[in-house]
Amino acid sequence: MAVMGQPVDREAEQAARRRRRSLVLALVLAAFVVIVYALTIAKMGPGVLQRPL
Amino acid sequence: MAYVDDHGQIAAVAGEARAEDYFALLKPRVMSLVVFTALVGLLLAPGGINPVVGFVAVLSIAVGAGASGALNMWYDADIDARMSRTANRPIPAGRIDRDHALAMGLVLSAFSVVLLGLATNWLAAGLLAFTIFFYAVIYTMWLKRATPQNIVIGGAAGSFPPMIGWAAVTGSVSLEACVLFLIIFLWTPPHFWALALYKQSDYGAAGVPMLPNVAGEGATKVQILLYSVVLVAVSLLPPLLGFSGLLYTVAAAVTGALFLLSAGRLFRTRENVAMKKAARGLFGYSLSYLFLIFLALLVDRVAGLAGWL
């Protein structure tokens, strides 16, 4: 059983690692969005939207 | 699992890397020193900076330094595999493909430089771009395998962060920023040569021409002592130039004296075991020294602003 079970365990482990990597990447991208937003507000202030159309 | 193919290249065995492996490509321990020295440069600079902009500036410098670490690991995978200190890095250990490290290094380099430019100014961004180029191309590709002066010249890359922090606030590079640069620049050779003295066989096996392997232990110990003397002298420039006070002067004098004692102890050793022990001692102390010097600059400035001194 142990020998037969090994590939399944490996695949499950690989899938878990992949899922975790995707999650971390999503968090990094979300943080980047927040940072750019905060930076825009910090540099331009609330007047960011006050411009001629 | 990893293997070396006919061309001496590391071929990664297909496997699933953990998120931590990608983080390890950024050399987080080096990054922590970069963050700290950049932050000190930023806080010492006259004029002040919006906290959000300052945070983004330090983050950009840290990510840029991490990106150059990833590029270094991409290029150096073959020699990393041959050294005990680096054999378990993600690429030689086979957890990450070399191409992934290259892609990550290039993407993060571009993002960090552009973000720093947008957040602060293009002089700071240009300095960051130059730092990444200097570390990844001039040090890693040209100098490291070619000359025993590799870490002397390459050390410039690690010396830029406080100057970038300073430039992020002021938009210029002044004498004070150059002194901060010089402190790290002069600290690098004794720091790395102490490591090279007790990891000599590692560097020898990897074919990296570190000074102890090329010029011998005696010459290395002399060079370490000379650089240490100049380092301690330069570390006393900030009070002379008027950008730090009594607290820093005392801290720099005490920590500098201990640095010279440690370098002197290494210089006097003749026997191999004692020499390695002294070299390890100097290497460990040098890390604390740089941290303490920059901490003292920061505390001195904060105390000065608060009117405590």
Give B265-274 pLDDT, tens digit per residue.
999 998 889 9
Question: Picking from A3-12, B59-68, B97-106, B150-159, which range would have the lowest pLDDT averaged per residue?
Answer: A3-12
Cα–Cα dist A27/B67, whole Å: 19
Phi first, then psi: what are they for B198, rounded to 5°? -95, 0
Would you place residue B260 in the very low, low, confident or very high pLDDT band (cuts 50, 70, 90)? very high
User: Comparing C-alpha atoms, which of B158, B134, B162 is closest to residue B43?
Assistant: B162
**Greater model confidence, A6 or B304:** B304
Mutate to test the interface with A, among B13, B18, B59 (most CBs of A within 10 A): B18
Give A-chain residues touching B15 at CB under 8 angstroms. Answer: 14
The token duo for B99 is 């191409």
Give the per-residue pLDDT at B6: 39
Question: Tell me: domain B174-309, CATH 1.10.10, correct?
Answer: no
Of A20, A39, A43, the CB nearest to B19: A20
Would you place residue B5 in the very low, low, confident or very high pLDDT band (cuts 50, 70, 90)? very low
The ipTM of this complex is 0.81
Cα–Cα dist B96/B12, whole Å: 7
**Greater model confidence, A48 or B173:** B173
Give the per-residue pLDDT at A7: 67
Sign, CA dihedral B47-B53-B59-B63, equals negative
Cα–Cα dist B161/B32, whole Å: 11
**B1-171: CATH superfamily:** UbiA prenyltransferase (1.10.357.140)
Would you place residue A2 in the very low, low, confident or very high pLDDT band (cuts 50, 70, 90)? very low
- Mean pLDDT confidence for A16-40: 95
pLDDT digits (tens, 9 = 90+) for B135-182: 999 999 999 999 999 999 989 999 999 999 999 999 999 999 999 999
Cα–Cα dist B135/B118, whole Å: 23
**Domain pair B1-171 / B174-309, same fold:** no
Residue B25 clears pLDDT 70, i.e. is over it: yes
Phi first, then psi: what are they for B101, rounded to 5°? -65, -40
- Mean pLDDT confidence for B6-28: 72
Answer whether A27's CB lies under 8 Å from B19's CB. no
The token duo for B126 is 């240009």
Element containing residue B38 per DSSP (H, E): helix B28-44
Helix (H, G, I), strand (E, B) or coil at B3: strand
Give the per-residue pLDDT at A53: 65
Enumerate helices (H) and strands (E) in chain A, giving the number of each: 1, 0
Report the percent of chain B where pLDDT is more than 70.
94
Question: Is residue B1 less than 8 Å (CB to CB) from chain A?
Answer: no
Domain ranges of chain B: 1-171, 174-309
Chain B nearest CA to A14, separation (Å): 6
Of A18, A24, A25, the CB nearest to B16: A18
Q: What is the pLDDT of chain B when averaged over all its residues?
A: 92
- Mean pLDDT confidence for B231-253: 96
What is the rounded radius of gyration, in angstroms, for the C-alpha atoms of chain A? 22
Amino acid identity for residue A13 in this structure: E
Give the per-residue pLDDT at A4: 53
Please give the distance of CA B279 from its chain centroid, rounded to a whole number.
Answer: 18
